[in-house]
Chains A and B, each alone.
Chain A
Amino acid sequence: MDLAPGIQSALHPRGPDAEAIAHLTWILIGGGTAILLAVLAIAAFALWAPLERRAWAAKRRFVIGSAVVFPIVVLTALLIYTVVVEASIGKRGGEPAVRIAVIGHQWWWRVHYLDSQGGLDFVTANEIRIPAGVPVELRLESVDVIHSFAVPNLAGKLDMIPGRVNRLRLHAHAPGVFRGQCTEYCGGPHAKMAFYVVAERPEDFEGWRASQRSPASAAQDALTAQGQALFMSHCVTCHTVRGTDARGTLGPDLTHVGSRISIAAGILPNNRGTLAAWVSASQDMKPGNLMPSMNIFSGEELRALAAYLESLK
């Protein structure tokens, strides 16, 4: 998991759409600052300049000029410019290279990679990998309440509204890791519903995609085998691990959970320690989330379980 300043910032654009918005942002900040300073200067002048010199500022004509004429000119120009910028967003780069459905849940992200006919390719959760340098299309949906998908490094946000499908384009210039968060209050631990977008070189992305399609690898040693057994007896109601009998869909698909850079929807790094902590105390780490704290395992059992999950690469 990466936490670095700027990884979730709109002022650190890493793709063409975010760059267009950031460019616009700086113009707005510059223009706004200039106008604010001008207004303050005029006000100071009106208050404290010698009375004889201020007479022109006490006239109706001055009010109309500064409050009607000037804003009409500036706002018209601004409107035209911003409509042009807005029209260009989500249109660059041609056909999307990949289509991904992201379905919002309280308080995690179900991710369905789609094949070229729009059918299901494979399922994952809480992390979205994309090829760098080409546009990718996200279909945003929700099964419960309104969520919002925001990864500021790459694009503006778009809501995930039950009953609707909204489409968002992501396009990263170069490989990198970008953090996103749910930005529509969805109750409870909304603050802890995050995700990562990882852009990879196209060939690395293909490799990743191929491995994601494959079912989970079998347990390699005694510890992971013990972990797998524990998993099968406690976790299959809610979780899926393709290639085994675990087919639950209430919670995230864990077939390749070991390959993700974070767990628990972007809030914890992915290692044996955090995996064990999450399983046994998820309610402490993300109060109110829909996975109960499975505080029923001994220390050794937890070690095995965490080893198993980590092995699901």
Chain B
Amino acid sequence: MAADSGPAPLPSSLPNSLPRPPGELEALRRIWQPPRGFRLVTAINNTYIGVFYIGTAFLFFVLAGVLALLMRTQLALPENNFLGPNVYNQLFTMHGTIMMFLFAVPVVEAVAVLLLPNMLGARDLPFPRLSAFAFWAYFFGGISFFCSLFFGLAPQGGWFMYPPLTTTTYSPGIAEDFWLLGIGFIEISAIAGAVEIIVGVLRTRAPGMTLERMPIFAWAMLVFAVMVVFAFPAIILATALLELERAFDWPFFSPARGGDPLLWQHLFWFFGHPEVYIIFLPAAGMVSMIVPTMAGKPLVGYRLVVLALIGSAFLAFGLWVHHMFATGIPRLSLAFFSAASMAVAIPSAIQVFSWIATFAAGRTQMKTPALFILGFLFTFVLGGLTGVMVAVVPFDWQAHDTYFIVAHLHYVLFGGLVFPLFAAFYYWTPAVSRNALSERVGRWVFGLVFIGFNVTFFPMHVTGLAGMPRRVYTYAPGLGWDTLNLVSTLGAFLIAAGVLLFIVDVARRFRLSFENHAGNVWNAGTLEWLPNGYYANRSIPIVTSREPLWDQPNLAKDVEAGRYYLPGAPTGGRETLITSAIDAKPQWILQMPYYGWAPVTAALFTAACFLLLTVKLIPAALVCAVIAIAALVHWAWELDPGPSHPPVPIGGGITVPVYVTGPSSQSWSAMIVLILVSGALFASAVFSYLYLWTVSPEVWPPADALPDIGYAGAAALLLLLSSASVAYASAALSRDARGRALTALAAGVLLLVCASTVDAYAVWQTGLSPSATSYGAIVYTAFGLQAIYVAVVVFMAFYTLARARAGLLDRARRVTFDNTMLLWHYTVAQGLTGLLLVHGFPRFVP
């Protein structure tokens, strides 16, 4: 049943009256109770997943920090022999990889998982088990990856792993494969997080919370998620290509056979530059929440800040070549990317000055969060200014790959993420812990970390200009670097002392409590500070401004009393309210799952499968894959409950459905996001094909060496017919002609498989080899990508048929079918594009 066409109007008085029926609150508490004891690993509520996530990310921060201390110890003296190059090269690779992939991106996702639902007035994220799966995959995968150090199997290629160094010729063994497969977990986590956040921010906000009234952190996370959707696929493809080259000798990056090392750099940095904004923008969002509270005034220039977030995201995708200024690319290219890299300073400046203006508007309470914000401002502005410096091409020609860059990147990353994160820890701890952290100790932590940071990294600007390159396990004495390095090492230990002190304070004072936390000690204005429990808020409030707690004085009391929407659980299960994307009018109720073993089991066995593949224990890997897929299927089977419950009243005279199909469904939105990710992935493959052609046109076939165009025509026709078949099935299903719908679906499967077979045969019968030239490699890759999607879609089709067989699919209950249909049409479009590229492009160019 589709959602109601008109959103319900907001009532003029509070939706629900007192007294609330007896047992309503108790039922709500009971329904949202987390599992106990060891079974806490099956929890899926954003409260626990958020805390697990933050804890794990912080653990990786500390571990990577210890690696840094080891490195700085080695570098304290010239020609030091504390560590040799073998160990040192593993350490700097792991330090960068862990910090960027296992700490920075996960931690901002983690803060969102923990706080976003509360900030939006929702009871949980829209796909709780997906977050749980993403977390556990990250946890198991990340820990195993870290443990490679203890076996001397950690990668040594640097965190950005440039080939040819990272091909098997120069990096034999499995260490680099650990990196490639380890990053896979982060990719899964990030994409899952992006789906969660986009749907959550756009569809689960409290009624009345229009986009213009949304907390800035929600905007920042929305921008984060969209950036992840378009940036991560580039590195997914890059890692796949490198693994194919390592495992099967497909020469993407080897010039002798038409490959190009710069292909990797383009793909990696197309991801890598947006990545740093993916890290920074959520932190900026946190700052935009903390500053107004500390100043006691609303954020100055809310709209400017939103525009700045969006502007940063756009520009961030146009800068990546500034990592390649020293590679010998043409000068016009240099000028463009230099200009763009300077321009991106402007949206950041807008945010900085909005914060300063907000401070100017009020009297700031100089508590620990504010101290860390000031530390952030100093550090990040300094880092941003050195960023403008390295955007200047001739300067970068001296600074690139020296300690100047190490200084710059730490100023913007530590400044732009870690300081806001510490501020966030001190700021939001009272919302999840019985005690706030200590103010007194907090000042010491700030002092040690801030001074330590500057003592460590400021001298590196000089060290770099004095000529010390990056990634060196030692250096010659007497070049003017000796004292600078010693000072940097001392600073590193100061940072460590500060972090240690922080850990001690957390151990002493942090006591996790979602029901008896310390409360709104800062007098903040946003919804995460409402009294709450495992169910988030007792009732879902109506919001009329950006700082509801400041502008609606009785809000907390009324929410607790159950005067707003959904004060209980009318379906008897876990629910949250779905609202419209722009105006946040109530639309329907999302029924959500209880805790269970499927997500953590699927994650464990997915991680195990990847790990076993890395160490080349293939049969065991296959067994784990089967178990993981079984867990996923078991989980999926509980989805798509259908309209099993009649529409329920949520208060204020509004009754909403508990199940919808079509574009309003959260499932549909998730599939759209997945399709965008897939499109970006395929676009990266298309880019790779065209780029390799520009570098090595001599390995491209002349038009007469291509397969006969009839093959492409036949494959295209079969693809289109399969889409038509599925479209017919969809129409038949909506007319309740189930039998015909299922037959059409099955026919579609046949057509799709035939299309792929024709496609495969066409390429194979030319004798094209994927390891002979880069052309062969990229053609087989494009085909392989398509084949994977076809396999997934066919699996989904069989699953849909199984649902129908079990009586779980019909005219009213069709989300499963719709998901299959959406991915199907995408796969057909992708296939047609691939055919056009492989069979058409070489015929069109002279």
Contact = CB atoms under 8 A, between A and B. Distances in A.
B300, B304, B326, B353 — most chain A CB neighbours (10 Å): B353
Given A60-B301, A66-B353, A86-B334, A78 B342 contact: yes
Given A9-B466, A75-B388, 16 more contacts: A9-B467, A39-B352, A43-B377, A57-B360, A58-B358, A63-B350, A67-B353, A82-B393, A145-B165, A152-B467, A157-B398, A161-B261, A185-B165, A191-B475, A287-B85, A288-B86
12 contacts: A5-B479, A21-B394, A36-B385, A40-B378, A47-B360, A57-B360, A83-B338, A86-B331, A158-B397, A189-B85, A190-B472, A287-B86
Contact of A5 (B396, B402, B480): B480
B389 interface: yes
A55 B357 CA distance: 9
Interface string A1-38: 00111111111000000101100110011001001100
B478 A62 contact: no
Given A8-B466, A9-B480, A57-B356, A68 B346 contact: yes
Interface in A116-168: 144-146, 148, 150, 152, 155-159, 161-164, 166-167
Contact of A63 (B300, B327, B364, B478): B300
A8 to B, nearest CB: 3
Contact of B394 (A35, A79, A89): A89
The 9 closest A-B pairs by CB, nearest first: A156-B397, A163-B255, A8-B467, A5-B480, A191-B472, A58-B361, A46-B360, A166-B328, A57-B360
Interface string A81-105: 0110111010000000000000000
B465 interface: yes
B467 A181 contact: yes
A185 B158 contact: yes
Interface string B333-373: 01100110011011001101110111111011000000000
A218 interface: no
Contacts of B301: 60, 63
A31 to B, nearest CB: 8
Place the interface of chain B in its size category.
35 or more
A40, A58, A188 — most chain B CB neighbours (10 Å): A58
B338 A148 contact: no
B84 interface: yes
B669 to A, nearest CB: 34
Contacts of B331: 86-87
A184 B400 CA distance: 9
A146 B472 contact: no
Contacts of A66: 349, 353
B392 A82 contact: yes
Interface string B157-168: 110001111000
A64 interface: yes
Contacts of B472: 190-191
A75 B342 contact: yes
B359 A146 contact: no
B382 interface: yes
B645 interface: no
Given A5-B478, A58-B360, A32 B386 contact: yes
A64 B304 contact: yes
A255 interface: no
A25 B398 contact: yes
Interface string A164-193: 101100000000000101111111111110
A79 B397 contact: no
B661 to A, nearest CB: 44
B150 interface: no
A229 interface: no
A11 B350 contact: no
Given A9-B467, A164-B328, A145 B164 contact: yes
Contacts of B363: 51
B653 interface: no
A161 B327 contact: yes
Place the interface of chain A in its size category.
35 or more
Nearest to A6: B480
A23 B650 CA distance: 69
Contact of B357 (A57, A186, A288): A57
Contacts of A167: 328
A183 B389 contact: no
B394 A20 contact: yes
Given A39-B352, A79-B338, A28 B395 contact: yes
B262 A39 contact: no
Nearest to B264: A146
A166 to B, nearest CB: 4
A159 B326 contact: yes
Contact of B471 (A21, A78, A87, A185): A185
Nearest to A89: B394
A144 B253 CA distance: 12
B701 interface: no
A60 B466 contact: no
B86, B163, B364, B394 — most chain A CB neighbours (10 Å): B394
Given A47-B359, A60-B301, A39 B381 contact: yes
A282 interface: no
Contacts of B479: 3-5, 7-8, 179
A216 interface: no
A54 interface: yes
B356 A46 contact: yes
A186 B165 contact: yes
A148 B401 contact: yes
B171 A187 contact: yes
Interface string A265-280: 0010000000000000
A181 B469 contact: yes
A145 B402 contact: no
Interface string B473-489: 11111111000000000
B469 A150 contact: yes
B760 to A, nearest CB: 31
B528 interface: no
Given A40-B378, A82-B338, A183-B400, A145 B326 contact: no
A157 B357 contact: no
B260 interface: yes
A68, A145, A185, A194 — most chain B CB neighbours (10 Å): A185
A179 B465 CA distance: 14
Contacts of B401: 148, 150, 157, 183-185
Contacts of B349: 66-68, 71
A67 B158 contact: no
A162 B164 contact: yes
A183 B469 CA distance: 6
A75 B345 contact: yes
B170 interface: yes
A161 B326 contact: no
A57 B389 CA distance: 27
Contacts of A181: 467, 469
A286 B756 CA distance: 53
A212 interface: no
A67, A148, A157 — most chain B CB neighbours (10 Å): A67
